[in-house]
Structure 1
Amino acid sequence: MLKFYKKAFIFFIALLFITSSVGYLSVKTTFLQSQLIPKNTSIFPWHTQIGSDAEDGGQSTVNIIDSLFSLNFNIKVSSSVQYPVAMTELVFEDKTGQWSYVDFSRFDSISFSAKCEPENVLTFALYTEDDQITNVDDKRSYRISTSYFSCDQKWQDFNIDLTRLETPEWWYKWFDHELSKKEYNLQKTARLSFGSTIQSPKDVESNIHINNLQLHGRDWFFLYAFAGLFACIWIGSIVWLHREYTKALLSDLKAKIQKDRPLVAYQQLTMEPQKNKEASTILRFMATEYANMDLHLDTMVQEIGINRNKINEILKNELGYTFSAYLNKLRLTEAARLLSTQKSANISEIAYSVGYKNVPYFNKLFKLEYDCSPKKFKDTYLT
Structure 2
Amino acid sequence: MIGAHAPGEGGAWRPTTGCMTMQEFYKKSLLLLIALLLADALLAVLFVHLSQPAYSLSPAARDGIHWERVPTSDDVMGGTSTVRLHDAAAGAMVFDYTLTKVAKYPFAGARFVAKDAKGELAPLDLRKYDTITFVARCTPADPMLLGVTTFDDKVSVPGQLVTYRSPGTFFSCNEQGVHVSLDMRRLTVPDWWLSMMKLPLTSQDYELDKVVQISFGSSSQTPFDVDSHVEISNLELRGHDYRYIVALALILVSGWILFGLWFFRTHTRTLAASLNGRLKTDLPLVAYRQLTVQPHRDEEQASVLKFLATNYTNPELDLESVVAGTGANRNKVNDVLKTELGMTFTGYVNKLRLTEAARLLTEKSTATVAEIAYSVGYANVSYFNRLFKEEYGCTPKAFRTLALQHPPASADPPPKMVGNG
What TM-score comes out, normalization by structure 1 length?
0.91
Structure 2, gaps ≥5 residues long: 1-21, 406-421
Query: Within the alignment, does 1:148 sit opposite 2:170 as a pair?
Result: yes
Decide whether aligned partners of structure 1 residues 130 and 335 sit closer, same or farther in structure 2, where only a CA change above 3 A counts: same
Q: Report if aligned partners of 2:143, 2:172 keep a CA contact under 8 Å in 1.
A: yes
- 1:15 equivalent to 2:36? Answer yes
Residue 157 of structure 2 is aligned to residue 157 of structure 1: no
Bigger CA drift: 139-148 or 103-112? Answer: 103-112
Please give the root-mean-square deviation of Cα atoms over the aligned residues, in Å: 2.5
Alpha carbons 2:121, 2:159 under 8 Å: kept = no
Deviation per CA, 1:29-63: give whole Å up to 9, x if none.
223333337x5698873011122222222222211
The 2-side partners of 1:167 and 1:236 are apart by 52
Match of 2:276 in 1: 254
2:57: which partner in 1? 36
Cα–Cα, structure 1 residues 382 and 97, in superposed 2: closer, same or farther, change >3 Å?
farther
Q: What residue identity is the alignment partner of 1:50? A: P
Q: What is aligned with 2:335?
A: 313
The aligned counterpart of 1:58 is 79
Counterpart amino acid of residue 99 in structure 2: V
Counterpart among 280, 286, 289 of residue 263 in structure 1: 286
Please say which of residues 210-219 and 97-106 is displaced more in the overlay. 97-106
Q: Alpha-carbon deviation of 1:366?
A: 1.5
Q: Does residue 302 of the first structure (1) align with residue 324 of the second (2)?
A: yes
- The question of 1:126 aligning with 2:126 is answered no
Structure 1 residues 281, 178: closer, same or farther in 2, change over 3 A? same
| Pairwise CA distance, 1:281 | 3.1
Where does 1:301-380 land on structure 2 (aligned, <5 Å)?
Answer: 301-380=323-402
Q: Which moved more, 1:185-194 or 1:371-380?
A: 371-380
For residues 241 and 187 of structure 2, what CA distance do their matches in structure 1 show? Answer: 21
Corresponding letter in the other structure for 2:30: F
Give the Cα separation in 2 of the matches to 1:339 and 1:173. Answer: 90
CA contact (8 A) 1:79 1:202 kept: yes
Query: Does structure 2 retain, via aligned residues, the 8 Å contact 1:104–1:187?
Result: yes
Alpha-carbon contact 2:194-2:203 (below 8 Å) kept: no
Q: Could you tell me which residue of structure 2 aligns to residue 77 of structure 1?
A: 99
Is the contact between residue 136 and residue 179 of structure 2 (CA under 8 Å) also seen in structure 1? yes
Deviation at 1:126, TM superposition (A): 0.3
Q: Partners in 2 of 1:350 and 1:210 — Cα distance?
A: 83
Q: Distance in 2 between matches of 1:344 and 1:233?
A: 40
Question: What aligned pairs does 1:138-217 form with structure 2 within 5 A after superposition?
Answer: 138-217=160-239
Pair 1:108 & 2:113 matched = no
Distance of 2:389 and 2:61 partners within structure 1: 64
Distance 2:118 2:354 in 1: 84
Q: Find the counterpart in structure 1 of residue 19 from structure 2.
A: none
Offset, 1:224: 1.5
Q: 1: distance between equivalents of 2:296 and 2:288?
A: 20
**Structure 1 Cα separation of the partners of residues 32 and 248 of structure 2:** 19
5+ residue gaps, structure 1? none
Kindly state the Cα deviation for residue 234 of structure 1 after the two structures are TM-superposed. Answer: 0.3
User: What is the one-letter code of the residue matched to 2:171?
Assistant: F
Contact between 1:264 and 1:330, CA under 8 Å: does it hold in 2?
no
Structure 2 Cα separation of the partners of residues 36 and 131 of structure 1:
24
Spell out, residue by residue over 1:76-121, the C-alpha distance to the aligned partner (whole angstroms, 9 max, x if none). Answer: 2222222122221101134565431222212222121122223333
Percentage identity across paired residues of the two chains: 36
Taking structure 1 as reference, are residues 116 and 338 closer, same or farther at Cα in structure 2, changes over 3 Å only? same
Instruction: Classify the secondary structure of the residue corresponding to 2:179.
Output: strand
Distance, in Å, in 2 between the alignment partners of 1:368 and 1:239 is: 25
Would the aligned equivalents of 2:291 and 2:305 in 1 still touch at CA under 8 Å? Answer: no
Contact 2:282 2:355 survives alignment (8 Å) = yes
> Partner of 1:291: helix, strand, or coil?
coil
**CA distance 1:58–1:293, change in 2 (3 Å):** same
Q: Name the count of aligned residue pairs.
A: 381
Deviation at 1:274, TM superposition (A): 4.0
CA contact (8 A) 1:263 1:330 kept: no
Q: Which SS does the other structure have where 1:187 is aligned?
A: coil
Letter in 2 for 1:156: V
Q: Is the 8 A contact 1:339 1:378 kept in 2?
A: yes
Once residues 273 and 46 of structure 1 are traced to their aligned partners in structure 2, the CA distance between those partners, rounded to angstroms, is 101
Deviation (angstroms), 1:190: 0.9
Whether the aligned pair in 1 keeps the contact of 2:69 and 2:93 (CA below 8 Å) is no
Partner amino acid, structure 2, of 1:228 = L
Of residues 362-371 and 89-98 in structure 1, the stretch that sits farther from structure 2 once superposed is: 89-98
TM normalised by structure 2 equals 0.83
Q: CA deviation at 1:272?
A: 7.8
Amino acid of the structure 1 residue aligned with 2:378: Y
Structure 2 letter corresponding to 1:259: T
* Alignment CA distance shift 1:125-1:288 (3 Å): same
Change (3 A) 1:355 1:203: same
CA distance in 1, matches of 2:385, 2:30: 28
Report SS of the residue matched to 1:31.
coil
Higher helix share: 1
Residues 1:61 and 1:268: Cα distance change in structure 2 (over 3 Å): same
Give the Cα–Cα distance (whole angstroms) in 2 for the partners of residues 321 and 156 of structure 1: 78
Do 1:117 and 1:207's aligned partners in 2 also have CA atoms closer than 8 Å? yes
Q: Which segment drifts farther, 105-114 or 185-194?
A: 105-114
Paired with 1:12 and 1:273, the residues of 2 have a C-alpha distance of 53
